[in-house]
Amino acid sequence: MRVDVVSIFPEYLAPLDLSLIGRARAAGTLRLAVHDLRSWTHDVHRTVDDTPYGGGPGMVMRPEPWGEALDALAPAELAPDGVTLPRLLVPSPAGEPFTQAMAHELAAESHLLFACGRYEGIDQRVLDHAATRMRVTEVSLGDYVLFGGEVAVLVILEAVTRLLPGVLGNAGSLDEESHAHGLLEAPMYTKPATWRGHEVPEVLRSGDHGRIARWRRDEALTRTAARRPDLLAALDPASLDKRDRAA
Ligand code: SAM
């Protein structure tokens, strides 16, 4: 997958060199480039913002550098139909909530382009113009406001990269974790069996795989009901068996 990130703070994306994302980059699974928006400015101060029309506090990111950045990274002449252009993702607290389902959707794309806003955000015309030639999604990490889109990009890329083939050593973990099937994962334990007076549940030490699977499923249901009743309510009833309903 190819990923381009445009930001006025490219150094904010430095963690993308670390850990499994760094390894995915080294292996070529993730071809990531981070670009400085200011390289598409032409004045001596490398200006990217200006006061908002209509008044109000803060500054708004000017459309010209963004327009040039998107032209350079998604050249229309290469894909007049827009089909092979990247999918443009614009982090925004007013965007579509980011979920594991969206992470799966993005992991199936061949090219993602992130536009990181700062200040009061990017001039709306940048998004409106981009939408005339490529797919544009405003995406929110949650109902709170960050300083900029860079942290959102780090989060989204972590979630997406671990879904790419070959990135996780054991792909089976993707099938058993929270949000894989609309439930939260059961609690996990490792050695020692007793720690500071707290015991690992007996069933997990029993070696009985059937009982263990049932226990994990029950715990997942109980946890989800207690912590995220919204997830439980959204589950397809057909995915529940008789024992699930009892739990
Ligand atoms: N004025 C904007 C509003 O009220 O919707 C908030 C701008 S915020 C201070 C600056 C930038 O941070 C946004 O353009 C966006 O890129 C990023 N950002 C802030 N909160 C975010 C969130 N919850 N999810 C994703 N990106 C966010």
In tens digits, the chain (247 residues) has pLDDT values of: 999 999 999 999 999 999 999 999 999 999 999 999 999 999 999 999 999 999 999 999 999 999 999 999 999 776 666 567 999 999 999 999 999 999 999 999 999 999 999 999 999 999 999 999 999 999 999 999 999 999 999 999 999 999 999 999 888 888 889 999 999 999 999 999 999 999 999 999 999 999 999 999 999 999 999 999 999 999 999 888 888 877 7
Distance 161 CA to ligand 1 centre (A): 23
The Cα 87–Cα 109 span in angstroms is 8
Please check whether residue 72 is in contact with residue 115, taking contact to mean a CB–CB distance below 8 angstroms.
Answer: no
CB neighbour list of residue 230: distance below 8 Å, 6 or more residues apart: none
Where in the chain are the domains? 2-161, 180-246
Q: Is the peptide bond before 91 cis (omega within 30 degrees of 0)?
A: no
CATH of 2-161 given 1.10.8.60, 3.40.50.1700, 3.40.50.720, 3.40.1280.10: 3.40.1280.10
Q: Is 65 in the pocket of ligand 1 (CB under 6 A)?
A: no
Residue type, 226: A
Which of 145, 150, 154 for mutating ligand 1's site (highest number of atoms within 8 Å of CB)?
145
Structure tokens at 60: 């708004």
The Cα 57–Cα 75 span in angstroms is 34
The Cα 65–Cα 48 span in angstroms is 7
Which of 89, 146, 147, 150 for mutating ligand 1's site (highest number of atoms within 8 Å of CB)?
146
142 annotated binding-site participant:
yes
The Cα 215–Cα 71 span in angstroms is 54
Query: What is residue 81's predicted lDDT score, i.e. its pLDDT?
Result: 64
145 annotated binding-site participant:
yes
Other beta carbons less than 10 A from residue 228's beta carbon = 16
Query: What is residue 242's predicted lDDT score, i.e. its pLDDT?
Result: 82
Q: Is 140 in the pocket of ligand 1 (CB under 6 A)?
A: yes
141 annotated binding-site participant:
yes
Query: What is residue 172's predicted lDDT score, i.e. its pLDDT?
Result: 80
Query: What is residue 93's predicted lDDT score, i.e. its pLDDT?
Result: 98
Query: What is residue 105's predicted lDDT score, i.e. its pLDDT?
Result: 98
Other beta carbons less than 10 A from residue 206's beta carbon = 12
Other beta carbons less than 10 A from residue 136's beta carbon = 19
CATH code, residues 180-246: 1.10.1270.20
Distance 217 CA to ligand 1 centre (A): 37
Query: What is residue 96's predicted lDDT score, i.e. its pLDDT?
Result: 98
Going by alpha carbons, the residue nearest to atom 23 of ligand 1 is 93
Q: Is 137 in the pocket of ligand 1 (CB under 6 A)?
A: no
Domains 2-161 and 180-246 in one fold = no
Q: pTM (2 decimals)?
A: 0.95
Q: Is 149 in the pocket of ligand 1 (CB under 6 A)?
A: yes
